[in-house]
Structure 1
């Protein structure tokens, strides 16, 4: 496995595209820390695909923003400068807005329900939308329930969120949700987040406990709460022209290796998330548990944002989502 020591963007990515046209070379880019479950899962993918292909397919993994930030990776895969990426699904919503249908506030009661939706007909419909944009979906990993941190005050009531300048992913539903809570949300690529927190440019951010931990945000944030306002996914997508150009055997190998990696990641993600909060407290963050009253108020205040998102998305897709969630008793 080869790791680049510098971030490659712009012309450097173009050079990569020219120098590695052979279909047996697969570059996989991600913005997650090397110790995050998703990055470890990509190492598993590398091992599995090279084993299945008998070494005929060479996989190179580039985690931790080595090939640029999340937004840059999306563009690089779309143009074929990189074959594959793993990225928070929110970063794809400006390419495929329909992905917002699985990013509604307080949408899923648990991770099992979330994966039942994306592994079923709703996920198939979203994969079809990605394909129209030149992207081949390889499946969904867990990013997890997103939790709020900040440097101003503990969150014990909705009013405590008001006025906070909070970094969010570039997802319109996420931004609208925090506006509804009275915050001042700022869309920002993850590569800029740590320094923005450190410099006080923003007051806080929201991420799963495991991300908050491995990204070192405990060093620059004081307060954390288990708001669980979104359940987030990591999309694994490839350049469609590249994947379609593989022969049937190689396509099957890629799919099989990725299925193994995703199953591994989901299990590991649950373990990392369970341990994450305790680690953050050990590192000095102040934890304020969300009360039932606050949880109810958060849901009430964000219901309109969820309804607005559904109103502007494909009617058939929303109907499919409603039907599938009804089957699950939601």
Structure 2
């Protein structure tokens, strides 16, 4: 008798679960989503976007189809943000820097030499600080799903290797269209040239500019080594990618669909970050094999650069908000204490 009761209870429980699953599935509609980003599809961001599309398809029973548009096919990062706000584009993955134009707090990631390693970054972007930043986007026409990785940024140029502060002098350096980066490199002695990414390769090739700054993988996948001789491992900044959905689309999504998007973004994030970090070491070796001259910047030179940039850090800390910077620093300090 007891066995029969247990069997009946199990059957009833399975029926409830099936009913819930069916109900959730009924909340999922047929959708075709346009997801744009700026880098090549072979970049870890592109592979992460493909993983995200795969996960969304699986979790939606094939009803939601994500079509990815890499390599600025839908425009520059700023153009894609605008298109996503307007509902012309459904999703976008962009580096944090252009988001400063929407919410000044995103300049947190541009503060010079703030992060020492990826663990510190993860603690900030995946914790309360990351949530706080995405909450600020709520009135800007986009909804943040999660942060993926772009990586630590380094300087390339055709004039000289950067081994000390004075080596920046006179270098015409492309920066993102972001005031912190413009001030940062002007303060270091370079001549900052804000420029949209699609224009950079040609500007380097024609020697209209001397250099640029980006993570290793972007240098490699965009073949910057073809038009640049020196790569100096400055690690002066870190850029996360923000994966966002247009608010107009988000408002149309059911609770089940929103869960699918959020869960898929988080799973793809873990995959994308692992891939990005594995490829960093391989990329350095490949760039050396292609003829780039790569040098580490001595710690004493980095310390001198940080000191030179203190007025920039102080200025933008005040603009961002000292409470946010302190909250981020507290998360970083926790990681540093745990690693001792």
The residue correspondences of 1:1-330 to structure 2 (distance < 5 A) are: 24-329=31-336
Change (3 A) 1:227 1:315: closer
SS at match of 2:132: helix
1:243-268 alpha-carbon deviations (Å, 9 max, x no partner):
12200111111111111111110000
- Indicate the RMSD between aligned Cα atoms, in angstroms: 1.4
SS in 2 for 1:109: coil
- Shift, 1:321, TM fit: 2.5
- Hey, what does 1:19 align to over in structure 2? none
SS in 2 for 1:205: strand
Deviation at 1:112, TM superposition (A): 0.9
Partner SS, residue 232 of structure 1: strand
SS at 1:226 equivalent:
strand
Structure 1 counterpart SS, 2:320: coil
Deviates more, 1:48-57 or 1:212-221: 48-57
Q: How far has the Cα of 1:315 moved from its partner? A: 4.2
Q: Distance in 1 between matches of 2:98 and 2:72?
A: 14
Contact 1:23/1:242 (CA < 8 Å) preserved in 2?
Answer: no
Q: Which SS does the other structure have where 2:92 is aligned?
A: strand
CA distance in 1, matches of 2:182, 2:259: 38
Using the alignment, how far apart are the partners of 2:329 and 2:42 within structure 1?
Answer: 36
| CA displacement 1:146-186 (0-9 Å, x = unmatched) | 01000111212211101111011122111111111011111
Aligned pairs, number: 309
Secondary structure of the structure 2 residue equivalent to 1:186: strand
Task: Show structure 2 runs of 5+ residues with no match.
Answer: 1-28
- Between structure 1 and structure 2, the one with the greater Rg is 2
* SS, match of residue 175 in structure 1: helix
1:147 and 1:227 in contact (8 A); partners too: yes
TM-score with structure 2 length normalisation? 0.88
Q: Do the aligned partners of 1:23 and 1:246 also contact (CA within 8 Å) in 2? A: no
After TM superposition, give the deviation of residue 23 of structure 1 in Å.
6.8
CA contact (8 A) 2:188 2:308 kept: yes
- Asked if the contact 1:162–1:182 (Cα under 8 Å) also holds between the matched residues in 2, the reply is yes
Gap regions ≥5 residues in structure 1: 1-21
Contact 1:167 1:206 in 2 (8 A): yes
Which whole-Å CA distance do the structure 2 matches of 1:325 and 1:209 have between them? Answer: 23
Q: Which has the higher helix share?
A: 2
* TM-score scaled by length of structure 1: 0.90
